[in-house]
A and B are shown apart, each in its own frame.
Chain A
């Protein structure tokens, strides 16, 4: 009897250990648009990858390919990862949208997660962060900090995501400083330190004493540091090495918890295609430490703004707001719906210049 139960237990243990042994680790792939050392966007996605690796240990194997051009090359790299046995692939740039959909069609058993896009499929989820909430806090600080009342903004590509950021920053800068003016330069790149530095210098020459960037390198920070009296904010990553001045705060992308949750879903077999858009409240967007270069009262009000965005008590796009042409967008107290935000292609009233067409 005892012997029998011991044997039975041993058999179960043996069968368990063989299944565990036969099960390959879950393979999670990441495709990056920049180098992992960009200090910004790709760096934070890679931090997310490392968080997955640390969380699951040997149960998960992560792989990545960096600096993958958007287009035909991306499609090849994704296929190669899928062939290499990846179970879940994160494609971390907007331009990977069509390639992700194409490859996902060919590999129905591989799950895909596309960042910042809008095309879903049975095995393609989309996810993004409400960076505009962070932009609202930046705009608030920027409006207080500027003395020349000229705020420079380095845009990457004129896509809804970037335009949302410009609008959110402008609305909150104007709220605290009605004389503020935004100068926007389009760099047409996510990561090109030389172009970004050039854009920053152009803005500084035009009188900007605060620079917001929606590109990924630290080059604008270095340019501001060289100029001496220009305020900057870290983008995607904390960029704390430029603090406490010129970098006075930052928007930090925090992908780790999402990546861990989605990997867990694949392991559990509960993964389904979803559309995730989280903000400060869910922890996907972080506001980096506001440095002492910012006056204490401004710091306090910025943190209050951050907390009200996090709790959902306040929405970054709350009426009354007009579009650039003066037509009414949101009435008093009305908040923007996600559909409009997702496809945002207009400036709010007060911004000058046109969105490149």
Chain B
């Protein structure tokens, strides 16, 4: 008989091995899926996971990985603080949108003045926008005990409506012939977040790497990182250790909101270029997967963001070159999270064969 026995401590080896095993299982089952669709499984897997890195056109795809991965990493790093402390901000997508709107509004207000001060001001506005949007569920939780999962999620839809109204009204390009959408910030030198478009470098990529380093230092070396971990593992112990749970909620919401807002600003001022009705493409939600895939660890998140970016870009290549349906790619991305959660059982439980063992 097969039995599960709870480990006294989560296994260190499995914590590291689980994501890798999940990726391997995804490749195998994804391959079976592709074979069932009548595509060569090995070639398809190779197209998705290796072509963006090593094919003839890798010079084009590698920078694209940075562009696609940076917002994911930036948002996921912010989320990881709250998730470790048991504070569930599901609405990063909304904070991302509001950050983009606030940052873009500042940039557009200065158009067409050129000054090196404009971009830093936009970054500050973007961060503040995200923080303010995250403070709504934060303060409601602290003051009235509302559920931050629901409130932050619902605020995503509010943010989407706000975005539509901005693209159609306040921020609409006056020279856009009546079509919705703002001016293109990427083409306005003082407001552009691009450093080098061909290299895929924009300030969001730089910010993502800086965030990883800061998060690593704070979580492993700083008292605040200790408090966060303690609050997540044992809220009672944290209270005895002098952690103020309300303050912790606000700080964690603030960090995740601020980073999501910054990601939105970097995106709107660079790769996306303009505020449009459907500016957001789900980075805030995908970042939740990235955070868990990366084990809420900064380095892990960086790798996970790279992996997710890889499946997006490789998936598009597979669609275009091999005629794979788009839904098959989404299915495979879903598999990745599914297998991770499945393999996670092994981190917390031991497999026992035979009978007699009491659980």
Contact = CB atoms under 8 A, between A and B. Distances in A.
B120 interface: no
Nearest to A29: B320
Interface in B283-336: 312-313, 316-317, 319-321, 323, 325-327
B321 A84 contact: yes
A73 interface: yes
Interface string A303-343: 00000000000000000000000000000000000000011
B276 A71 contact: yes
Interface stretch (A154-162, A242-250, A291-299): A154-162
A80 B279 contact: no
Interface stretch (A61-69, A137-145, A209-217, A281-289): A61-69
A291 B316 CA distance: 41
A356 B165 contact: yes
Contact of A344 (B160, B169, B178, B180): B178
A95 B278 contact: yes
A83 interface: yes
Nearest to B282: A69
Given A345-B178, A357-B169, A66 B326 contact: yes
Contacts of A356: 164-165, 168-169
Interface string B53-90: 00001001100100110000000000000000000000
Contacts of B267: 72
Contact of B326 (A67, A157, A159, A357): A67
Given A66-B326, A157-B277, A80 B316 contact: yes
B262 to A, nearest CB: 17
A195 B313 CA distance: 28
A76 B200 CA distance: 11
A35 B278 contact: no
Contacts of B160: 188
B326 A65 contact: yes
Contacts, number: 95
B168 A158 contact: yes
B184 interface: yes
A66 B67 contact: no
A160 B177 CA distance: 9
A66 B278 contact: no
A70 interface: yes
B186 to A, nearest CB: 9
B319 A65 contact: yes
B273 interface: yes
Contact of B319 (A64, A75, A118, A343): A64
A83 B179 contact: no
A71 B282 CA distance: 13
Nearest to A346: B178
Contact of B278 (A69, A80, A344): A69
A71 B169 contact: no
Interface in B244-292: 267, 271-274, 276-279, 281
Nearest 8 CB-CB pairings of A with B: A72-B271, A345-B178, A69-B281, A357-B169, A66-B326, A65-B319, A67-B326, A343-B178
11 contacts: A68-B316, A69-B278, A71-B271, A71-B273, A72-B267, A80-B316, A84-B320, A98-B184, A189-B278, A343-B178, A345-B178
Interface of B: 57, 60-61, 64, 67-68, 160, 164-165, 168-169, 172, 177-180, 184, 267, 271-274, 276-279, 281, 312-313, 316-317, 319-321, 323, 325-327
Interface of A: 29, 35-36, 63-73, 75-77, 79-81, 83-84, 94-95, 98, 118, 157-160, 188-189, 342-345, 356-357
